[in-house]
Structure 1
Amino acid sequence: MPSISVLLQNVHETVHTFRMKPNFTEPKIYTGGVDIKQWSKLTKTEQENALNKSWYIYFSFRDPDTGILKRQPNIKAGANRFTNKRERLSFLKILQAKLILLLNEGFSPYQRSIELENKFKNPEQVSEQIKVTPQLPVKRTEEVKKVVVPKPTAPPPPKEIDIFSALDNEPIEGNDKANETIEEPKISVAEAFELGFKIKKSTLNANSFSKYSNRIIRFQKWLDENNVDTSDIKNINKKIVIQHLNWVLQKTSARNRNNVRTALSSFFTTLENNELIEDNFILKINILKSVPKRNKTYTPQLIKDIDYYMKENDPLLRLFVQFVSYNFLRPIEVCRLKISDVDVQDQKLYVRAKNKPVKIKIIPKIMLDVLPDISKMRKDDFLFNPYEIGGKWEADETQKRNYFSKRYKKVKDHFKLGEEYGLYSFRHTFITRLYREMEKNSTPEVVKSRLMLITGHSTRDSLDKYLRDIDAALPEDYSKLLE
């Protein structure tokens, strides 16, 4: 330790003149294309498929001629003789620990060091530095005595694994596969995507996963339609993804293209984290500038006319709109409401927001006055369905929201309103109305503090951005300043 301190002091001046780069990447273990931490959650078939593939250690080392990190041959050293996960992984962990120690001591696959080999071929010296021991099952003495015919098992690993033999692909005692040709097994796009979907499905809610998976599946179909080689996930590169994004841009919009890029980037990060790909190159693909669609606010007179029309022609839709307007809910949040979420006695509304805990909002008197009696309805029924208040509705929340959007389109057609008007516009309109009424008697800071509790925005910044987007805050008439 003192010697390395002296060396560090000696190179203090040197580090200012050149940038030191690591000569190697950390050796990692490939475990058949599955997340080894999730092994217990895999099915028996998935475990068998993983064990049928070759497991190995892989790492990269800087080529002295080019200065570029170069992938080295995979190191198996007979690990695949073991037929179960525990023994195979234990064997590779020992090998991994020795390789890390060797690399840290200055080993280079491009230059042989007799001194280093002599040092590490001393088993006792290596054992003192490496604290990893194989976690192989050990039978108790009394259990061994009961065994009449020993069950054939894979041969145990050698007491000391010769790391130099493994690196040189030389035979190891008791290893009949050490001389086999080392080929990295290919993971097809279908296999890689199947694993990615399983992981993502456990981290996203049903609605988000549906949108997310549709974009990934569309990309997978596009690969097939364009004759891209999908036999190996590593064939998918930046150029191919850019071509797909350009196709999406031509078919739809810049905004949708950016959403597809985001979904693919998140998915490829999952693949990278599970060592199916080396690098998520999608992060380097640019985001296009896009103008978001904006729902316009309604004028006071138009609100009155629409309300009267729905009262006469569609009372159920009118009540749906009132929940959006008076409780400042998003249409999809109204679709999630169940009878049990509406506590009339305590004037509380329990709203399930996207990827967040349940939010509690008050039910204002103006909403209670128009709410029908729901006290005798089943608690597990949805508040809204296509025909009445309270009842079953076998559809996902996106389909429910789309249903009410299409139902409202009849109202829009009657008043000849364009795409910029929708159910979401009611939320914008009534938040704007509330802000301007509160602003008459309070400062903007006080108004925003009170408004956050009502609208449900989690931060002041998000509320400020929302108010700017809907033009809720407008200046007073400044005509006198221009005279």
Structure 2
Amino acid sequence: MENILNLITLDVQNEHDLEHDFSKKPNFSEPKIYDADGDLEKRWYVYFSYKDPKTGRLKRMKNIYGKVNSHKTKEARYYLLSVYKRRLLRLLKAGYNPFENNTELYKKHHQETTTSPPSLISGSPVESVQGVDSEYIKPLRSTKPPQKRQKAMELKAAIDFALKLKTNVVSDRTLSDYRNQSGGLLKWLDKNRKDIKTIDELTKGVIVEFLNEIQLKTSARNRNNFRTCFSSVFQVLEDNEVVRQNPIKNVTKLKTNPKRNKTYSQKQQREIFEYLEKEDPNLLLFIKFVSYNLLRPKEVCRLRIKDINLDDGTLQFRAKNKVLKTKLIPSILMEELPDLSVMEGDLLLFTKDGIGGKWKATLESRRGYFTDRFKKVVKDHFGFNENHGLYSFRHTFITKLYRSLVKHASPFSAKSYLMQITGHSSMAALEKYLRDVDAELPKDYSNLLK
């Protein structure tokens, strides 16, 4: 269906259109480019506002994307959006009004900008920028009968459709969480809002009502997790034109106070290691991968025999950001490893039965097993609460490393070297981490208090 938007997003190679400067008092704001601060993972677009004939105030029109987000470089996106912006401004100056019928203007400039015959302008298009409220749009006359508005998709079918499209896009754990959270919403609707049958009837207000109930029953953090799920699901539906817009975009994310596992004192760490040497050596080795190699417990659970390079003294692992990374295995840990050369490469390094074996459990289940095992063997024995866990060893040994390094080097030099060990992506990220775990402590300042 041809419409005025085509004139904005024509092939850039044919950009010789609308070279005249039209003088007319504007009823619109100057089109602007949104570049997401250069983030190529987000959608870029051109946006503008036009005077609403009912209110007399400028009203934001729907964003113009064109083909810009198919390009993977900043240069290409800026170039294309600049062309869209320039063409849109000329059309607006020429008299284009998104609230009125623009047939004649479209025909005039279509003939000026393309070699296509007039017969291409056919059917019964709606001449407006996408997204303008239907009450302002005037359909063009046509010899063809008007097309019926597509029936809204049923609620559960729409959510199932969105979740299916999330397959291979997010992790299995995230997809499972989305299914559970979406299922919770559907159950709540079936109990409290039986009148809602189709996806277009599920409004922002209804979802906020559900989120408020989640917050009151659980926590603000859990409410935010549900919000993230619904926003992701509705964005898929908007991108696939199942709904007109994502109603979750304007739902506020609540401020929360995240909890972080506390570090162990040197005495506590030493006592735990000595106790596990006798009670559970395999669990101790698991903990030493967290402590000496500074891996997250889940990253240790992913390790397979083939990930350990005995010749180079290195290991490869999939980090939190899903990037495959390589780390040096310190000699203090290499000396603890059994003979892995006789084991098959695809075997898991850690299983519930020992080192090197098969385990059909999911990653989350394996992670949960070692968490529970640590609680029963260590936490219950020493009386630790929920503030201490397996992750605490990572905090403990990063703190220990930093405080040792800073004794013989400047803080900047110590952090620069520590970054190579921890794998933090930037100095700012490492400094934030060190502040969070209270690794940086000042020297004794008693002399300043006298």
Q: Same fold (TM over 0.5)?
A: yes
2:425 counterpart of 1:432: no
- The offset of 1:333, in angstroms, is 0.2
Give 1:443-458 correspondences, 5 Å limit. Answer: 443-458=410-425
Q: Matched residues in 1 for 2:28 and 2:98: separation?
A: 22
One-letter amino acid of the counterpart of residue 224, structure 1: D
2:249 counterpart of 1:306: no
- The offset of 1:237, in angstroms, is 1.3
One-letter amino acid of the counterpart of residue 447, structure 2: K
Larger radius of gyration: 1
Q: Matched residues in 2 for 1:165 and 1:297: separation?
A: 63
Identical residues among aligned pairs (%): 41
- The offset of 1:266, in angstroms, is 2.3
**Structure 1 unmatched runs, 5+:** 23-60, 72-100, 134-157
Aligned with residue 470 of structure 1, among 425, 431, 437: 437
Q: Is the 8 A contact 1:189 1:233 kept in 2?
A: yes
- 319-328 vs 255-264, greater mean Cα deviation: 255-264
- The offset of 1:200, in angstroms, is 1.8
Give the match for residue 96 of structure 1.
none
- The offset of 1:214, in angstroms, is 2.6
Superposed CA deviations along residues 378-416 of structure 1, whole A, max 9, x for unmatched, are 100100110110011111111111110000011101111
One-letter amino acid of the counterpart of residue 369, structure 1: E
Give the match for residue 158 of structure 2.
192
Q: Matched residues in 1 for 2:142 and 2:224: separation?
A: 52
2:306 counterpart of 1:340: yes
2:284 counterpart of 1:318: yes
Q: Is the 8 A contact 2:101 2:139 kept in 1?
A: no
2:193 counterpart of 1:227: yes
Give the match for residue 368 of structure 1.
334
One-letter amino acid of the counterpart of residue 284, structure 1: N
- The offset of 1:132, in angstroms, is 6.2
TM-score (norm 2): 0.74
Superposed CA deviations along residues 452-480 of structure 1, whole A, max 9, x for unmatched, are 11011111111111100000010111111
Q: Is the 8 A contact 1:63 1:70 kept in 2?
A: no
2:437 counterpart of 1:479: no
CA 1:264–1:132: 2 relative to 1, 3 Å: farther
2:231 counterpart of 1:270: no
CA 1:65–1:395: 2 relative to 1, 3 Å: same
State the Cα RMSD in Å: 3.5
Give the match for residue 251 of structure 1.
217
Q: Is the 8 A contact 1:238 1:282 kept in 2?
A: yes
Q: Matched residues in 1 for 2:304 and 2:211: separation?
A: 39
Superposed CA deviations along residues 225-283 of structure 1, whole A, max 9, x for unmatched, are 32344422111111111111112112221112122212222222222222222222322
2:369 counterpart of 1:403: yes
One-letter amino acid of the counterpart of residue 64, structure 1: P
TM-score (norm 1): 0.69
Q: Is the 8 A contact 1:165 1:171 kept in 2?
A: no
Q: Secondary structure at the match of 2:249?
A: helix
**Structure 2 unmatched runs, 5+:** 1-16, 32-49, 62-89, 128-137
Q: Matched residues in 2 for 1:179 and 1:269: separation?
A: 29
Alignment coverage as a number of residue pairs? 377
Superposed CA deviations along residues 193-223 of structure 1, whole A, max 9, x for unmatched, are 2221122222112233233333233223322
Q: Secondary structure at the match of 2:327?
A: strand
- The offset of 1:481, in angstroms, is 0.8
Give the match for residue 418 of structure 1.
385
Give the match for residue 52 of structure 1.
none
Give the match for residue 259 of structure 2.
293
Q: Is the 8 A contact 1:188 1:230 kept in 2?
A: no
Give the match for residue 327 of structure 1.
293
Q: Secondary structure at the match of 1:412?
A: helix
Q: Matched residues in 1 for 2:225 and 2:184: separation?
A: 13
Q: Secondary structure at the match of 1:292?
A: coil
Q: Matched residues in 2 for 1:320 and 1:348: separation?
A: 16
One-letter amino acid of the counterpart of residue 462, structure 1: A
CA 1:308–1:214: 2 relative to 1, 3 Å: same
Q: Is the 8 A contact 2:316 2:324 kept in 1?
A: yes
